Structure 1
Amino acid sequence: MTARTGGREERMAAQAQQNPAEGLAQGLERVMARAGRRGAVTDLLRLSGGANMQSWRFELGGEAFVLRRAPSEEWVATRQLDMAKEAKVIRTARAGGVLAPEVVAELAPQDDIGLGFVMRCAPGSPDPENALSSPPALLAEIATALAGVHALDPATLPFLPVLEPAAGVEALALQFAEAGGDRPPIALGLAWLRANLPPPAQLRVLHGDLRIGNLMVEDGRLSAVLDWELAHLGDAHEDLAFGCMTVWRFGRLDKQGFGLGSVADLARAYEAACGTAFEPARFRFWLVYRTVWWALSCLSMGRAWRSGADRSLERVVVARRSAEQDLDLLLLLETEAPEAERARRLPLSPAPPEPGLGEPSAAEILTAVSEWLAATVKPHMAAGRERFELAVAQNALGIVRRELAGRPSPHDKALCEAILSGRTTLAEPGLLAALRRRVLDTLAADMPKYPALSEARRLWERTE
């Protein structure tokens, strides 16, 4: 870091400590004036979403805008696209007819408010419940948006990285090793991906993160596609599969097509929009690939927190969501096991500890703190980011409380090495049942409200 950069960050930190909203508003006024929009910034509010980037809504001259800002320079340095390139992708997509936001200004070093850009606020809401309560026709609009992204000319975005299946899988394997290489469901996913590499596909521009939660929907209609930071070149089936992952369907377990319909519905709508044939085998490959990718992305959140690139509480809590993907990977891959192993009874979970009679336990103290936050602090918080962060804090307390009560370890490096070497598969007697039990109990401690957990219990914990 240069002395000049360090000085700017010190000024930003000092300003944020005095009055973060005031300092940001002043910086935004400089940004917007440079874009020809002068006036006072009002109604500045940090939005609750955004696991990677910050989003701030504000008004100026009677119009609403959204600032998309990186949490730190260190965080951006880990990305393949910097903020300027992301803005370029959005502008190119919008010019190509895709429902992308309008970028009106980009932050500069002299603004002293970090790295990012400003967009005109699109109508509607990104709230998943808003999208998932929409008419089924929304799925066809999403398919049309995907087709529009995939029709963009790659030559107009020469800086986009390319994702080829084989290279992508090996990059995931390296990331897995760097994360400890010790979670068996991820090892199973990597072994399956290596054995099922699809042939090369025509390279298309991909959004990379097109899913419920990154779509603005107004009155049941798609109004904008958000969050283009993961754009790259690759197989179109990757974009189709990503939005169909269980985690991005927010409890709509019976509707694999973006939580709005079936995969067959999505495929028909996509084929009608672009004329490209849907290939189920490619779709399945990318569904497993992206599930492994998200499991490792969750784990990387913990490394980002430890490094200081982003010390937010949300970062460490999201890291525990890797347990969700452990479950989803087993659900995707258990069909590879023999029928006798799929029918095998699960071992019993360890008995929970007996409640104490003397002094309160650490778990009980955490419960008391969480209850105090809900009763005393929450009523004084405005809706929006503050309440969201309170919910994250209560979730964190719950994770620690349940771990103290007996969370099984999800780590088994020796087993992972055996799986990746091919010495062990799901045909090994008792392995699938043991992994099912471990994953169920770990997820119950880490993210007990994950919708797929109750469905997996129904499928796996037979009492007969």
Structure 2
Amino acid sequence: MTAHPALLPALMTRVVGAGVLSGLTRLSGGANMESFAFDWGEGEQAGGYVLRRAPSADYMADRPFGHVDEAALVMAAYAAGVRAPEVVGVLEPGDGMGTGYVMRRVMAEVSPAKILADPPPSLLGDLGRELARIHSIPLNSVPAAIPLMDTRAALAELRARFLSYGGDRPAIALAIRWCEDHLPEPAAPVLVHGDYRMGNIMVDADGLAVVLDWELAHRGDAHEDLAFGCMTVWRFGALDKPAFGVGSLDEYFAAYEAAGGVRVDRGRFDFWLVYRTLWWALGCLQMGQAWRSGADPTVERVVIGRRTAEQELDLVRLLEEEAPEGERGRALPAPPGVAPVPTGEPTNAEMVEAVQGWIEASIKPASQGHAKFEAVVAMNALGIVLRDLGAGVRAEDAVLAAALLGGTTTLAEPGLLARLRRAVLDKCAIDSPKYAALAAARAEWRG
């Protein structure tokens, strides 16, 4: 916490009343914001709270709305009956703690792995119902700062970002061109949560307990929210259950429509599934740019920057049906060769392996909370470097990417799909070897 913990009691006294602070702990989750759990009060009057705040003022500078409006949005959702957090206070400049807000803590499970290992029977229906409630929030109750998404303009911005990052990743270029060619007509806008997925919900024995992380909310197409939680990456290995890793799309859509959601258009849903996978591929690259620029110097940023490979694999799997049947059955090129075993002085790979082992044996066991999380992230980063050294695998191909982006090359070109499949398999094996879709793609593609 950049602000001294001594400032928190004054904030809580202002927003809740007099009490005693205890149990202040930084939560390990949250890719963007900082979150701290703590107790406030005395005796039977004590309660649990969570402070959500920005890591720096610069971090909020280019966001469409700040924490004051985000808190107002969460309060509007809570008032509308959505299982949103209960906001009890918003940080002010005089608090000396930056921007953010305080919520009552909900005691429930947030880990996707634990939830998906034994989901409550009602969970898929709860997810459909809660999303319908979010989409039913009257737009006149939503803060004016919450933006309206123009899909065509947003797609153009993704293209511009791709080009600014080098424009040399063929799978991303393929997806951009596909989205441009399949852009749907604008839909009647609703409030879109923008990050409705496993990892941003909490679950207890009775089902869905609370919907978290409203920072990406906007007005837009309901199908964007419907698709986002169904992305492969957010199913956390449950590939046979396309709706959140919990169940079938038909069950999910039926629950959503029964609760008052818009009628689901499968073609529109498919567009948003590709679009948001593309969006997250570029989002991962953006994380790397944030580290490179110094805006966010954490190791987590560079590691997430290498998760682009997961999304490229998923994009090829989503779009391969565009290729002729003969191309889908074509054998893959051979993988790159294995590096020779060293015999002389320790190699770069061996030195990285030594540091990784030291963190595993000495640093991680002695760490707690967020520090332990950071140790694991550092080990992951070194694992990527270890696999990458000498592998001879690169994702960049500026010439092919430009041809796909311009539409002069398509998946009808003989051998192209096989090349793309091999490229994304090899890159994902380096960057995310445990990604569940990697094993599935290898089996499907005989790679």
TM-score bracket for the superposition, by shorter chain length:
over 0.9
2:122 aligned with 1:137, yes or no?
yes
Q: For structure 2, which runs of at least 5 residues remain unmatched after alignment?
A: none
Q: State the TM-score, normalizing by the size of structure 2.
A: 0.96
Q: In the superposition, relative to structure 1, how do residues 184 and 376 fare at CA in structure 2: closer, same or farther (>3 Å)?
A: same
| Equivalence map 1:236-275=2 (5 Å) | 236-274=222-260
**1:283 aligned counterpart, secondary structure:** helix
Q: Cα distance, 1:407 vs. partner? A: 4.5
2:28 — aligned with what? 48
Name the aligned partner's letter for residue 301 of structure 1: M
- 2:48 is matched with which residue: 64, 69, 88? 64
Name the aligned partner's letter for residue 111 of structure 2: D
Name the aligned partner's letter for residue 209 of structure 1: D
Partners of 2:446 and 2:129 in 1: CA distance: 41
Partners of 2:97 and 2:129 in 1: CA distance: 36
Runs of 4+ in 1 over 6 A off after TM superposition: none
- 1:352 is matched with which residue: 331, 335, 338? 338
The alignment-based identity, stated in percent, is: 50
> Does the CA-based 8 Å contact 1:67-1:119 persist in structure 2?
yes
> Does the CA-based 8 Å contact 1:407-1:441 persist in structure 2?
no
Partners of 1:451 and 1:322 in 2: CA distance: 15
**2:230 aligned counterpart, secondary structure:** coil
1:37 — aligned with what? 17
Partners of 1:421 and 1:376 in 2: CA distance: 51
2:190 aligned with 1:204, yes or no?
yes
Q: For structure 1, which runs of at least 5 residues remain unmatched after alignment?
A: 1-15
- 1:116 is matched with which residue: 100, 113, 116? 100
Q: Which stretch shows the higher mean deviation, 51-60 or 74-83?
A: 74-83
- 2:360 is matched with which residue: 348, 352, 374? 374
> Does the CA-based 8 Å contact 2:135-2:261 persist in structure 1?
no
2:312 aligned with 1:330, yes or no?
no
Partners of 1:102 and 1:235 in 2: CA distance: 26
Q: Which stretch shows the higher mean deviation, 178-187 or 242-251?
A: 178-187
Q: Cα distance, 1:129 vs. partner? A: 2.2
Q: Which stretch shows the higher mean deviation, 309-318 or 401-410?
A: 401-410
Q: Cα distance, 1:231 vs. partner? A: 0.3
**1:197 aligned counterpart, secondary structure:** coil
Q: State the TM-score, normalizing by the size of structure 1.
A: 0.93
1:434 — aligned with what? 419
Residue deviations 1:294-318 (CA, integer Å, cap 9, x gap): 0011111111112222111101111
**1:288 aligned counterpart, secondary structure:** helix
Partners of 2:335 and 2:65 in 1: CA distance: 45
1:8 — aligned with what? none
Name the aligned partner's letter for residue 253 of structure 1: L
Name the aligned partner's letter for residue 279 of structure 1: D
- 1:78 is matched with which residue: 62, 74, 77? 62
Residue deviations 1:3-37 (CA, integer Å, cap 9, x gap): xxxxxxxxxxxxx6xxx6xx542121111111132
- 1:105 is matched with which residue: 84, 89, 108? 89
- 2:161 is matched with which residue: 167, 175, 181? 175
**1:380 aligned counterpart, secondary structure:** coil
1:362 — aligned with what? 348
> Does the CA-based 8 Å contact 1:301-1:315 persist in structure 2?
yes
Q: Which stretch shows the higher mean deviation, 329-338 or 195-204?
A: 195-204
Q: How many residues align?
A: 441
Residue deviations 1:239-274 (CA, integer Å, cap 9, x gap): 000000000000000001011001111111111111
> Does the CA-based 8 Å contact 2:88-2:104 persist in structure 1?
yes
Partners of 1:119 and 1:364 in 2: CA distance: 47
Partners of 1:24 and 1:125 in 2: CA distance: 29
Name the aligned partner's letter for residue 183 of structure 1: R
Name the aligned partner's letter for residue 111 of structure 1: D
1:92 — aligned with what? 76
C-alpha RMSD of the superposition: 1.3
Q: Which stretch shows the higher mean deviation, 108-117 or 366-375?
A: 108-117
1:425 — aligned with what? 410
